[in-house]
Amino acid sequence: MTIPRWFIRLMWVGCFLAQAALVGACHRDHASDGPMTRQKIRVVLSPHLSWGPLLLADAEGYFADEGLEVEWVSLLRSEESLVALLSGDVDVVPGPLRPGQFTAAARGGSLRIVAGMNYLARDGCTYQGLVLRPGLSVADAARRLRRVDVSRDGSSRYLAGRMLATQGVDIDRLETIKLPSPVIENALNDGSVDAADVTEPFVTRTSRRGTLWLRSQDATPDFQWAVISFGDRLLHRDREVGVRFLVAFRRGIAQFLQGKTARNLESLRKATQEEPDILAQSCWPAFRADARINLASVLEYQQWARDHRYLDLSATPDQLWDSSFVAATDTALARRTEEEGR
């Protein structure tokens, strides 16, 4: 009998939940007396537009302003990031929510969403969508669609399924594969797939030959695409360090929301290694200045994951979301503004 991948993932997370307390007990922070003593924290990073405010906060020195030495941890898969957060090997995981995080939170894992990253603004530009291969028209797409590049689980599949449902297409009746990002454009061009579920800058890149068909914000307006999650250290033992991290992040959001300035374009070009013209043409994702989340959309996504058997236990809002951190950053940023005005 073949064991489903989702079941293996749940077992994986469950095993590490059992170990998290033991490993966490061995983890030692280096907090000292002064509130601004330099602290080292480990943060998972992907050099992608979704991480734009974090990349700008790093480039502008905002973390250093808060007395933080950030060690960026790259190239962790979502499951590995979750395990690292639960074990204390990393302190912060930014990125899209996966079903495993709901399961871990529901089972008592020491992790919480503490801030929002980008979301699919209903009136915004198209950050994520389904692009058709050359030769497949919008008029024929719903009828002729057979093979689609999309994740087999997670938020990308949820969003693709919601988009396709608006056209009367059941994603579970299609052949779906997940291709490496660098080959998606070629796969569309040679007809290996009929459509691809992509985010920027791939929406811009693949739309040069294919056709943008469906937009996520039309099917799931204001969906909370990505979040920032803290582990045990910042949730409990070094909360003030967590607040300082989010202060720098929110300053990065403010910088990002200035748009495609020459300064931002150059900083993000260096960080993402993206082609300058593609970066300038791309839809930059939407961020809320206060870093709060659309919790209702997160719970709706969790219900979808439960309905599709990607998890067997749902987390409560309190198990998922700790709003006290963004509230604390409101106070810290107001104090900073007051001091700078003197």
Which CATH number do you get for residue 191?
3.40.190.10
Co-location of 116 and 14 in the same domain: yes
Residue recorded with tokens 């204390």: 88
Co-location of 282 and 331 in the same domain: yes
Domain-ending residue, one of 164, 194, 219: 219
What's the mean pLDDT in 244-251?
98
Least confident interval from 9-23, 40-54, 210-224: 9-23
Give percent above pLDDT 90 in the chain. Answer: 78
Residue-wise pLDDT for 83-139, tens only, equals: 999 999 999 999 998 899 999 999 999 999 999 999 999 999 999 999 999 999 999
Co-location of 78 and 193 in the same domain: no
Co-location of 240 and 336 in the same domain: yes
Q: What is the pTM of this model?
A: 0.86
**Residue from 206, 222, 224 nearest 149 by CA:** 206
> Within a 10 A sphere around the Cβ of 112, how many other Cβ atoms?
24
**How many domains does the chain divide into?**
2
The token duo for 186 is 């070629």
Are 198 and 55 in contact by the 8 Å Cβ rule? The answer is no
Co-location of 89 and 232 in the same domain: yes
Domain-ending residue, one of 201, 219, 237: 219
Co-location of 115 and 231 in the same domain: yes
Q: What is the Cα–Cα distance from 325 to 64, expressed in whole angstroms?
A: 19
Co-location of 263 and 309 in the same domain: yes
Co-location of 157 and 91 in the same domain: no
**In terms of residue numbers, what domain contains 333?**
5-121+226-340
Domain-ending residue, one of 199, 219, 239: 219
Co-location of 336 and 304 in the same domain: yes
Which pLDDT band, with edges at 50, 70 and 90, does 31 fall under? Answer: very low
Co-location of 112 and 138 in the same domain: no
Co-location of 46 and 107 in the same domain: yes
Residue-wise pLDDT for 221-247, tens only, equals: 999 999 999 999 999 999 999 999 999
Q: Let me know if 52 is exposed, middle or buried by CB neighbors in 10 A (0-12, 13-18, 19+).
A: buried
Asked if the model's pLDDT at residue 26 lies above 50, the reply is no
